[in-house]
Amino acid sequence: MDGNPNGPNRRALLRTGLLAGGVGIGAGVAGVAATRRDEPAITHASDGVMAGPVGDAAVLPFRGPRQRGVTDEPQPFAAFVGLDLPKGATRETCRRLLHVWTDDIERLMGARAPLTDLEPELASVPSRLSVTVAVGPGFHDAAGLSRVRPAWLAPLPRFSIDRFEPDWPQTDLLLQIRADSPVAVAHAQRRLVVGAEPLAELRWVQRGFREPLTASRPGLPFRNQFGQVDGTVQPATDGANDSLIWLGAGQEPAPHGLENGSSLVIRRIAMDMESWDRVDRLSRENAVGRRLDSGAPLTGRVETDLPDLGATDELGFPVIDAASHVRRAMPAAPQERILRAPYSFDDAPEPGRRTNTGLLFVAFQADPVRQFVPIQARLAEADLMNIWTTPVASGVYAVLPGAQPGEDLGAVLLA
């Protein structure tokens, strides 16, 4: 890892700093199990609720200058929820919506039920829930703010590999809901969608999952559905790379009302598991440029080794293929770095198909046009992984700044 131009990766930090928290949680769970073993083997459906919060680690604070869910280690379960403002929406519609959501999200993240919650018990089990609110290009139009919309808050250019399907269009709003428990995600999603009506209408939901279940198995890498270790090379999230991630943290002034926000690009990428099944292991490793077992570059020993792009084999061919995914995705300029937080999906296949699998590719960056687009353009031009992967949807959103005490989300933008 030393000498890596991208700085320490997030998983390494997790293994060191955050591992301590993980062990704490694990020990807590083991403690509960030990107590239970000495007691009569009777449990009650209300045990979890009665037990109350399992500790601060299970509740992420909602209030602050920046929203959660950007630089936090991604929780294992997620829903990405696309909504549109109703026809005729105004700035007042946007204000009222964010007022309702601010209160509901503060409660949900604090393991307290929103006021209108008919299943309050579902809200009361802390599970590191984070809800991140982001807005699409249409939000600025409705709010009469088109003039101050950042130039990057627009659909990405169309790439030659894109095969968009109509089910997941760009929306005016996006909720990213993540938690350690799928129950918490489903409950928060329902409350926030119901709570938003009629100020916003649901368009689509994309669900994802990822390992490790951080509390029980800290330090395990995330592997996507191709079995690849995914998330090795990332900008460190210790503050050193704030200008790459957060708006207003670098030289450029933040766009109006978005200081301490970010941008979120989501790409739904179908993975053709059936043709991948026919590919031998060496070709699979060649396509990405890394080993499948350890995630190490093909020229290295361990995951954190730097790839040696000049290395050649006995026939003089590059060991790391010129069209391999990592070689094509590497930054060609210092600003071409993004914080990836992808989730796998594995939905029910349509009749006659065996799989409906892929990656919800999610990236945070201060400016998608300068940081994300050049990488995606290179990958569209040549990337061996394109043989088995197809982007079927794409969206660009501005992550709102956090809500300070007494303030609603989007307060400065909508003032």
Of positions 77, 80, 152, 226, contacts ligand HEM by CB under 6 A:
226
E-state strands within 42-122: 77-84
CA-nearest of 102, 34, 93, 95 to 67 is 102
287 within 8 A of 325, measured Cβ to Cβ: yes
Of positions 206, 376, 386, 394, contacts ligand HEM by CB under 6 A:
376
- Residue 296 Cβ vs ligand HEM, minimum distance, rounded to whole Å: 10
- Residue 205 Cβ vs ligand HEM, minimum distance, rounded to whole Å: 20
CA-nearest of 71, 134, 381 to 265 is 134
Tokens coding 55: 């500790």
Token pair 């050649």 is found at: 312
Q: Tell which positions 331-350 bind ligand HEM, by CB under 6 A.
A: 338
- Whole-angstrom CA distances from 385 to 32, 240, 280, 287, 297 are 45, 31, 14, 6, 16
- Other CB atoms within a 10 A radius of the CB of residue 78 amount to 26
- Nearer to ligand HEM by Cβ, of 100 and 359: the residue is 359
Residue 375 touching ligand HEM (CB under 6 A): yes
* Interface region with ligand HEM, contact rule CB under 6 A, candidates 83-91, 94-102, 276-284, 374-382: 374-382
- Nearer to ligand HEM by Cβ, of 111 and 271: the residue is 271
Rg of the Cα atoms in the chain: 22
- Nearer to ligand HEM by Cβ, of 207 and 290: the residue is 290
**Quick check: helix, strand or coil at residue 270?**
strand
Of positions 80, 246, 345, 361, contacts ligand HEM by CB under 6 A:
361
CA-nearest of 61, 72, 58, 65 to 126 is 58
- Whole-angstrom CA distances from 328 to 9, 383, 384 are 19, 6, 9
How many residues bind ligand HEM, per CB under 6 A?
A: 26
- Whole-angstrom CA distances from 21 to 57, 235, 324 are 7, 22, 36
Residue 236 touching ligand HEM (CB under 6 A): no
- Over the window 381 to 410, marking each residue x when it contacts ligand HEM by CB under 6 A and - when it does not, the resulting string is ----x---x---------------------
- Over the window 273 to 302, marking each residue x when it contacts ligand HEM by CB under 6 A and - when it does not, the resulting string is ---------------x-x------------
- Residue 109 Cβ vs ligand HEM, minimum distance, rounded to whole Å: 28
- Nearer to ligand HEM by Cβ, of 102 and 389: the residue is 389
* Interface region with ligand HEM, contact rule CB under 6 A, candidates 23-31, 103-111, 193-201, 230-238: 230-238
Query: Residue 79 phi/psi, 5° resolution?
Result: -130, 135
Cis peptide before 212 (omega within 30 of 0): yes
Of positions 114, 195, 218, 231, contacts ligand HEM by CB under 6 A:
231
- Residue 391 Cβ vs ligand HEM, minimum distance, rounded to whole Å: 7
155 within 8 A of 170, measured Cβ to Cβ: yes
* Interface region with ligand HEM, contact rule CB under 6 A, candidates 112-120, 211-219, 225-233, 236-244: 225-233
- Nearer to ligand HEM by Cβ, of 341 and 359: the residue is 359
Instruction: Compute the distance between CA of residue 196 and CA of residue 354 in angstroms, rounded to an integer.
Output: 36
Of positions 81, 105, 271, 298, contacts ligand HEM by CB under 6 A:
271
Instruction: Compute the distance between CA of residue 368 and CA of residue 397 in angstroms, rounded to an integer.
Output: 10
Of positions 175, 249, 254, 379, contacts ligand HEM by CB under 6 A:
379
- CA torsion 112-405-152-363 (nearest 10°) is -40
Of positions 176, 181, 232, 365, contacts ligand HEM by CB under 6 A:
232
- Over the window 300 to 329, marking each residue x when it contacts ligand HEM by CB under 6 A and - when it does not, the resulting string is -------------------------xx--x
SS3 readout for 331-377? CCCCCCCCEECCEEEECCCCCCCCCCEEEEEEEEECCHHHHHHHHHH
Chain contacts with ligand HEM (rule: CB under 6 A): 224, 226, 228-233, 267, 269, 271, 288, 290, 325-326, 329-330, 338, 359, 361, 372, 375-376, 379, 385, 389
